Amino acid sequence: MGMIRALIVDDERLARERLRQLLAHEPDIEIIGECATGHQALETFRHDVPDLVFLDVQMPELDGFGLIEALPPAHQCPIIVFVTAYDEYALRAFEVGAVDYLLKPFDQERLHKTLERVRERAREGDRRLDDRMLAETLNRLRAPRVDRLAVRDGPHLKVVRTDTIDWVEAADNYVILHCGSTTHILRETMNALESTLDPVSFVRIHRSTIVNLDRIKELQPWFRGDYRVILQDGTVLTMSRTFKDRVQSRLLRWV
């Protein structure tokens, strides 16, 4: 199998740059261009159809699904990988034939797994997601959400409402829930806790920090692409650049 020619379609410049940097580590992926709108991508398709498209869902005027619907029925359709900060579009993405659904922010390992699926589909000539991959992805995205957590306090269990949590920090195999002047320790990993918290209210800003969006007062640019996150009570947290796209795209659209 030769080079896989890829097009990046995303209205956020930083998201395009981040994906380009990650793809630079994949020697068989050739980036043939970038588009900031669905209309630009549609015009590109008329002249040069790529093998693979990394496609954002939410874009102004013509979104990712609108772009796919705008292609003529006889058009040679590239392999589609949706890249978005929103998990609610996963089922629809697979209904239109996407091979995978990358949820921002993602790392090199997650992207590599996606590209393994792309390579397999390119070899087989089948550009749809199979039932096994669909089930795995939907199970990952559809983890149950909770609005209460049970935390141990000596011999007792306390019930903590998630809407009282200001932020969460990792501590080895535990997490610390910061609720105003009170803290609770929960035996749980950050990844597991993140999967159960409502993504409308909570966002990961660092590999060791989750924050309640309603508590954010201000974001301040910091060193090397990081941000300082100032909470309503004056607490100062650090948002790493790895997670910045998720906060911008999904929640506050900071620039």
- CATH 3.40.50.2300 domain residues, the chain: 4-141
pLDDT of amino acid 115 = 92
- CATH 2.40.50.1020 domain residues, the chain: 148-252
pLDDT of amino acid 36 = 93
Report residue 124's pLDDT band, with 50, 70 and 90 as the boundaries. low
Q: Which of 7-11, 39-43, 80-84, 121-125 has the lowest mean pLDDT?
A: 121-125
Reply yes or no on whether the pLDDT at 254 is more than 50.
no
Q: Is the pTM of this model over 0.95?
A: no
pLDDT of amino acid 255 = 41
pLDDT of amino acid 131 = 47
pLDDT of amino acid 140 = 53
Report residue 249's pLDDT band, with 50, 70 and 90 as the boundaries. low
pLDDT of amino acid 179 = 97
Alpha-carbon torsion, ordered 206, 211, 217, 219, to 10 deg:
10
**pLDDT tens for residues 89-114?**
776 777 667 888 888 878 888 898 89
Beta strands in the chain (DSSP E): 4-9, 29-35, 52-55, 79-84, 100-103, 148-153, 156-161, 167-171, 174-179, 182-186, 202-206, 209-212, 216-221, 227-231, 236-239
The 10 Å CB-count burial string (b at 16+, else e) for 195-211 is eebebebbbbbbeebbb
Q: Which CATH number is 148-252 given?
A: 2.40.50.1020
225: left (phi over 0), alpha (psi -120 to 50) or beta: left
Backbone angles phi, psi at 254, to 5 degrees: -70, 145
% of the chain with per-residue pLDDT over 70: 84
Peptide bond into 27 cis (omega under 30): no
Q: Tell me which range, 138-152, 209-223, 234-248, is most confidently predicted by mean pLDDT.
A: 209-223
**pLDDT tens for residues 168-209?**
999 988 999 999 999 999 988 888 888 788 877 888 899 899
| Fold topology of 4-141 | Rossmann fold (3.40.50)
Beta strand 174-179 with 182-186 is antiparallel
**pLDDT tens for residues 23-48?**
999 999 999 999 999 999 989 988 88
pLDDT of amino acid 127 = 46
pLDDT of amino acid 237 = 95
pLDDT of amino acid 252 = 47
Nearest to 231 by CA among 147, 169, 151, 172: 169
